[in-house]
Structure 1
């Protein structure tokens, strides 16, 4: 008993004390570090989410104004005294600075007045022949101030209202004036002296085309201005254009700015199109479907499209389209609807493809043709009125009765609509609707083509071909490295592959664009034979290795067999490229590119999706490989040993145990690689040719959303429609990445729950 009591006492003395001050202090420090680390990680994660949210809302704030409609703000009503004696208005116009307006009255006088105050500035009497009156007025295409006046004696007068800006004593002064570029003497259009009921004018270079209609007969006069280089004098040469005559009364005339077509609107709903180059009738087209009649016709900016207003409030857009047989015909492209009352005036914008329409009740509509968008419908007058819009489309002047009403127009982004961004659009001079991205042009008559569809398609196309190459190679390499390769060899191979990710993509793009693209073009048969022969060569090498004597196979340490494939790969690669020229001569007539283009009808561009697939696939492989390899390697060793112990082969263990357990990580690797491919910029920028086309052909290029933003953002005007569309492209990329990552995380969690029991 004494011995037992002694041992118990000794054990109490030797018992460890875990509540010493030092240990308690250490535990408090550790708890503090854990709490700080937890807060640090939480704050960092929330900061990342907050930053992404702020980026999203910033992009949305830049993009949102594009989808807002137009606004009209009324200013004070003016009742100038001179307006009561000025006759009926035939034409109303506003100059660039919104300071001076021009009014042509039926009394044969042109009056210039102040837009802000309505005060009369200047009155110019037109040099009309004695006893003649103005019967009709025609205007040149939008964007110029040229007009033609049809007179009651069969003559026409060409005039142009201009505004000279000067700065006397440092004060800006606008001086209006009326010029006669082809002389003050009227031109004789109808030899019989009948009234010119309708008149049209178009200046193409130094050649003027004037057309008029008298009692159903058409007259056209071509006037060429020639300048004497010695004296500086200008001489005019007149040439009459013989045109077929019509039986129906003519309501309106329009001349194509290229002097190709003359449009004569006659009857209730017909238009006759004359070919001015052949002096023959192209065809008669019915513009309305039997309801109502044509009330007014105008041309859009550029003079290609006809805007036809009818008595039911409808407005149709028509232009000439070349058919498959090479003939041109007038096509109805799109239609708009105002308010059910007859359209009395169509006012085209002078810098965009938009237009205003006014009906007999004084209702105004603001539209955009390309976007097929109605931006505003508002009452601006009581009854019939005449309106004019400023060249910048920011001011509207309406004359109704003896009153002048000014309006401020806020319509910054009419070109954007859902259909214009994502649907097929029938652009002017195109044979059919299409997806087109062409944001700028050298001419002011340009119709913006801002479809994001070819850019989104190009993004997915580039990512698809890159993943087609990268995914199988990266996943198979990860499986072999993590499961079959010897640990010593794995410690050398894995860092080398991961080091590839540090290679700048601009270097890869430079290499792909300047070397890889022309090399692939010159060795197409060798490249495709390489893709076919490499798997066959590896399988044959494996089969041959399995047939060697066991003592030879066992001489190679387990997990080092992959090194034996290096000479096989080099030999197959060299052999495939060496026979490229022979294959090209034997099967493709000496030039595979011409054979593809001419015999197979497959377009070929040097910088194409094949180049992108190889270059961008090389850039994506390290990302997919690293994550997938870690996922496979982290599978518990007990699972693989248990499977092998139950009699499964290493391959069965890999496919039925390891692969399923690591599937969440492998799927994450694929999604992250996909995101990397979608957001890649420099490689696609330098190696694709940047052609925004929607073609799945591997031998054609593309333009991606990221590359488009990088190329065009420096050239876009801040706040412009182009600028905001580029931000929309960035927003689409962000949303695509967010949706893909969200779906990937949901699928990954589902896979983890499904195979957690393994």
Structure 2
């Protein structure tokens, strides 16, 4: 074989060497490709895991059945398995019916609410299974209408049931039996438990609603005599076998304006019974404040309609009964809830806390009037029926249209019922159940994977229930079904950037300067011991660092905060001053003491810490009115001290730039005949002058900004919390230093030795060689070190979780927490 020299090789490579070379080449190539594939697969897996969150709703089936009732129900509910339901009819009869797929709706059992008085109205279905029923004699009955589900023991399963297909149901003794699996049967029954009648009005009850406070039921009602009443029903103790009697207190509420003496369209008591809402067809909403049940008052009167000429056509409450949804004749649905506000009292001196209703959500329709509203019993999903017979599903929190499971029909919808699992919808129209002529019904089954997740709700401000304005919030879970998920990712992303920024501000300069010193100035024997020691720091578990930060470091920083802030400036200045003093020593002494230079530098650090401790309290009195915690909260002092701390680094950079571009060239032109002593003295004087100029410039600029009315509090500084970004910066900076230091030091050490030798041979000092030759040559490696440190900081979890306070806020305050 001919080589590049033109000569033929005299020796042949052994087959073992060639085999080893081929194997190594294949191993390296496969390893590299495998790494790229593995990282790509991780990325694809993450995308594959996230994409289902954004899947749209799908309609799985629609079925039409004959109506089992001649009248339109007053209330309607379906059990969570979708095989049974109940309907409250206008004659006061509760009908329990079968509703499984592939079979017509079939009445199973009936229960009369009262044989003594005619039924007139019922409360909303937003209180789980608890309801209130009104009657023509002015009485009310509290009770529960609940589904009961139990598995059927195998010995009770008849032969007829064994022939049922899986997923099918049949009627047996006032219950619905469903075959859930091969050897599993469920019995569905309706349990109606009614309390004794309680008289609360002298006339027929036309509208009623109820909520509970502790053991008392708070009932709002509107009677045929035109009075709006508030009744508090407290059950009295009774023998176990008897129904309890009630201690009743009924108050007539202040009457509405003269223009609203007609019957309201709807009446609701809020979920915690602190407000009563009464709405009329012209859009007027009257809100009564029930904070004091003995002295209810009208809190506000508002217009629910957005355009003149519209009419209010349907009103309901979402789960939890804090958000009121109102549909109008133009097809729009608005979501209203109370928010706190701070108004001035009548004399304008004392602020008074108050609340007001706001229209936080708008759900657009097809143009036909809204005729029915059905909130989900477990989430913020809302089913809306329209006069054209169509039905739509919305998620109220993010105003998202999820699906349109019911197509337009001739008959307008008058009742809707969402399945408890948000996977089905039952509609009711005038004259029977929804469908084509002949009283047909349509059952829609669908899948809503994640209705609460949209790109808008993840990254844009959302107006959550009870909040004063749209905001970025994160709270993914709660303790009750009426909890409203808050999935704003903005604060979490911001918290990640904040932790990364402050940790890199602390870690990157220390790591890079340590790498430069170790590579270019430290003796090889010391380097061989120090570098592995720093690399061992990377083995400390994040949990341990987070624990130390939260329980040890955070309380210490809080106690000595002025000392730490002073130390950030004093410790480096002490080191630099000691370095210039070293240059002032006679040359003979410097040569003799050179082996002790590192030891002297190490001894200077405690001196700087001691000076910071001594100066901490005086600086706190001078700049922060004697108490930095009160100053940070904005209760004392001006902004001058804060501006001085924030502007000092910038002032130091400006002074360094001026010295490098103007002073140093001027001094070089005159220093040709200077000796070592004079040069060292001039350098010392230049350092002191630059330091004084930096402080003077920062102080002058601080006074100027303060005089102009600017205050740094509320920007990068502000109210102090013990677990904050400064603590995270210190500890996470400590965590990223080893990896940045190691990679940076390796990059600096691999710079060819002949470049150092050439620079030193040309007369450059070791520092000039490091700054002008070594660092530019190793810049790509230094950049890689910082990027890997950035990745380490971004991916950190436990330190941030334990030391950041877990506070989802959007501000850059270094003394505040984040999530």
For normalisation by structure 2, the TM-score amounts to 0.77
Deviation sequence 1:191-250 (CA, Å, 0-9, x none): 2x2x54433232333222332335793422313223327878623122222322223232
Match of 1:567 in 2: 603
Does the 8 Å CA contact 1:465/1:613 hold for their aligned counterparts?
A: yes
Greater shift in the superposed pair: 256-265 or 102-111? 102-111
Report the Cα distance in structure 1 between the residues aligned to 2:109 and 2:804, rounded to whole angstroms.
60
- 1:111 aligned to 95, 109, 134, which one? 95
Match of 2:676 in 1: none
Match of 1:39 in 2: 26
SS of the counterpart of 2:818? Answer: coil
Match of 1:483 in 2: 520
Match of 2:424 in 1: 395
SS of the counterpart of 2:793? Answer: helix
Q: Does 1:417 align with 2:454?
A: yes
TM-aligned CA deviation for residue 306 of structure 1: 0.6
- 2:282 aligned to 251, 265, 268, which one? 268
Report the Cα distance in structure 2 between the residues aligned to 1:411 and 1:548, rounded to whole angstroms.
79
Q: Does 1:337 align with 2:337?
A: no
Greater shift in the superposed pair: 168-177 or 474-483? 168-177
TM-aligned CA deviation for residue 384 of structure 1: 1.7
- 2:79 aligned to 95, 114, 124, which one? 95
Shift of the 129–432 alpha-carbon distance from structure 1 to 2, 3 Å rule, reads: same
TM-aligned CA deviation for residue 585 of structure 1: 7.5
Match of 2:533 in 1: 496
Match of 1:707 in 2: none
TM-aligned CA deviation for residue 37 of structure 1: 1.9
Q: Does 1:187 align with 2:199?
A: yes
Deviation sequence 1:45-103 (CA, Å, 0-9, x none): 221222222222222222222111222233432215x43xx323222211233332111
Report the Cα distance in structure 2 between the residues aligned to 1:18 and 1:553, rounded to whole angstroms.
61
Report the Cα distance in structure 2 between the residues aligned to 1:469 and 1:186, rounded to whole angstroms.
71
Report the Cα distance in structure 1 between the residues aligned to 2:198 and 2:798, rounded to whole angstroms.
63
Shift of the 583–235 alpha-carbon distance from structure 1 to 2, 3 Å rule, reads: farther
Match of 1:347 in 2: 374
- 1:666 aligned to 782, 787, 796, which one? 782
- 1:284 aligned to 295, 301, 312, which one? 301
Q: Does 1:56 align with 2:68?
A: no
Report the Cα distance in structure 2 between the residues aligned to 1:261 and 1:296, rounded to whole angstroms.
19
Does the 8 Å CA contact 1:272/1:285 hold for their aligned counterparts?
A: yes
Does the 8 Å CA contact 1:227/1:233 hold for their aligned counterparts?
A: no
Deviation sequence 1:447-496 (CA, Å, 0-9, x none): 11122222211111111111111111111122222223333433333232
Q: Does 1:238 align with 2:274?
A: no
Does the 8 Å CA contact 2:373/2:416 hold for their aligned counterparts?
A: no
Report the Cα distance in structure 1 between the residues aligned to 2:406 and 2:445, rounded to whole angstroms.
14
Report the Cα distance in structure 2 between the residues aligned to 1:122 and 1:422, rounded to whole angstroms.
50
Report the Cα distance in structure 1 between the residues aligned to 2:624 and 2:539, rounded to whole angstroms.
40
Shift of the 556–18 alpha-carbon distance from structure 1 to 2, 3 Å rule, reads: farther
Report the Cα distance in structure 2 between the residues aligned to 1:177 and 1:481, rounded to whole angstroms.
80
TM-aligned CA deviation for residue 19 of structure 1: 5.1
Match of 1:616 in 2: 732
Q: Kindly report which structure 2 residues correspond to 1:313-462, keeping only aligned pairs within 5 A, or say none.
A: 313-325=331-343, 326-380=353-407, 382=409, 383-385=411-413, 386-398=415-427, 399-400=433-434, 402-462=439-499
- 2:237 aligned to 228, 253, 273, which one? 228
SS of the counterpart of 1:234? Answer: coil
Shift of the 65–572 alpha-carbon distance from structure 1 to 2, 3 Å rule, reads: same
Q: Kindly report which structure 2 residues correspond to 1:584-663, keeping only aligned pairs within 5 A, or say none.
A: 592-597=628-633, 599=635, 602-646=718-762, 648-663=764-779
Q: Does 1:470 align with 2:495?
A: no
Does the 8 Å CA contact 1:155/1:186 hold for their aligned counterparts?
A: yes
Count of residue pairs the alignment pairs up: 672
Shift of the 243–188 alpha-carbon distance from structure 1 to 2, 3 Å rule, reads: closer
Shift of the 56–147 alpha-carbon distance from structure 1 to 2, 3 Å rule, reads: farther
TM-aligned CA deviation for residue 685 of structure 1: 2.9
Greater shift in the superposed pair: 459-468 or 159-168? 159-168
Q: Kindly report which structure 2 residues correspond to 1:59-138, keeping only aligned pairs within 5 A, or say none.
A: 59-80=46-67, 82-83=68-69, 86-116=70-100, 117=103, 118-127=105-114, 129=116, 132=118, 134=120, 136-138=121-123
Match of 2:671 in 1: none
Does the 8 Å CA contact 1:141/1:202 hold for their aligned counterparts?
A: no
Does the 8 Å CA contact 2:395/2:401 hold for their aligned counterparts?
A: yes
Report the Cα distance in structure 1 between the residues aligned to 2:470 and 2:616, rounded to whole angstroms.
41
SS of the counterpart of 1:24? Answer: coil
Report the Cα distance in structure 2 between the residues aligned to 1:208 and 1:507, rounded to whole angstroms.
52
Report the Cα distance in structure 1 between the residues aligned to 2:571 and 2:471, rounded to whole angstroms.
41
TM-aligned CA deviation for residue 18 of structure 1: 7.8
- 1:299 aligned to 300, 308, 317, which one? 317
In structure 1, list runs of 5 or more residues that go unmatched. 1-16, 704-758
Shift of the 97–225 alpha-carbon distance from structure 1 to 2, 3 Å rule, reads: farther
Shift of the 655–25 alpha-carbon distance from structure 1 to 2, 3 Å rule, reads: closer
Does the 8 Å CA contact 1:202/1:256 hold for their aligned counterparts?
A: yes
- 1:555 aligned to 592, 595, 604, which one? 592
Deviation sequence 1:1-34 (CA, Å, 0-9, x none): xxxxxxxxxxxxxxxx9856xx4133x4434333
- 1:148 aligned to 129, 133, 151, which one? 133
TM-aligned CA deviation for residue 552 of structure 1: 0.6
Match of 2:691 in 1: none
SS of the counterpart of 1:241? Answer: strand
Shift of the 37–272 alpha-carbon distance from structure 1 to 2, 3 Å rule, reads: same
Report the Cα distance in structure 2 between the residues aligned to 1:141 and 1:477, rounded to whole angstroms.
65
Greater shift in the superposed pair: 68-77 or 640-649? 640-649
RMSD of aligned alpha carbons: 2.7
Greater shift in the superposed pair: 431-440 or 634-643? 634-643
Report the Cα distance in structure 2 between the residues aligned to 1:579 and 1:514, rounded to whole angstroms.
27
Does the 8 Å CA contact 2:383/2:416 hold for their aligned counterparts?
A: no
Report the Cα distance in structure 2 between the residues aligned to 1:508 and 1:209, rounded to whole angstroms.
53
- 2:147 aligned to 159, 163, 166, which one? 163
Report the Cα distance in structure 1 between the residues aligned to 2:239 and 2:113, rounded to whole angstroms.
32
Does the 8 Å CA contact 1:145/1:161 hold for their aligned counterparts?
A: yes
Does the 8 Å CA contact 1:523/1:581 hold for their aligned counterparts?
A: no
- 1:676 aligned to 788, 792, 796, which one? 792
SS of the counterpart of 2:45? Answer: helix
TM-aligned CA deviation for residue 568 of structure 1: 0.4
Does the 8 Å CA contact 2:632/2:719 hold for their aligned counterparts?
A: yes
Match of 1:203 in 2: 212
Report the Cα distance in structure 2 between the residues aligned to 1:244 and 1:595, rounded to whole angstroms.
50
Does the 8 Å CA contact 1:70/1:366 hold for their aligned counterparts?
A: no
Q: Does 1:701 align with 2:701?
A: no
Report the Cα distance in structure 2 between the residues aligned to 1:587 and 1:25, rounded to whole angstroms.
78
Report the Cα distance in structure 2 between the residues aligned to 1:437 and 1:76, rounded to whole angstroms.
39
Report the Cα distance in structure 2 between the residues aligned to 1:664 and 1:701, rounded to whole angstroms.
34
For normalisation by structure 1, the TM-score amounts to 0.83
Match of 2:695 in 1: none
Greater shift in the superposed pair: 246-255 or 327-336? 246-255
Report the Cα distance in structure 1 between the residues aligned to 2:25 and 2:127, rounded to whole angstroms.
67
Deviation sequence 1:143-163 (CA, Å, 0-9, x none): 3352434x4555545453223
Does the 8 Å CA contact 1:143/1:351 hold for their aligned counterparts?
A: no
Report the Cα distance in structure 2 between the residues aligned to 1:260 and 1:331, rounded to whole angstroms.
17
Greater shift in the superposed pair: 567-576 or 222-231? 222-231
Does the 8 Å CA contact 2:281/2:313 hold for their aligned counterparts?
A: no
Q: Does 1:517 align with 2:523?
A: no
Report the Cα distance in structure 2 between the residues aligned to 1:500 and 1:123, rounded to whole angstroms.
75
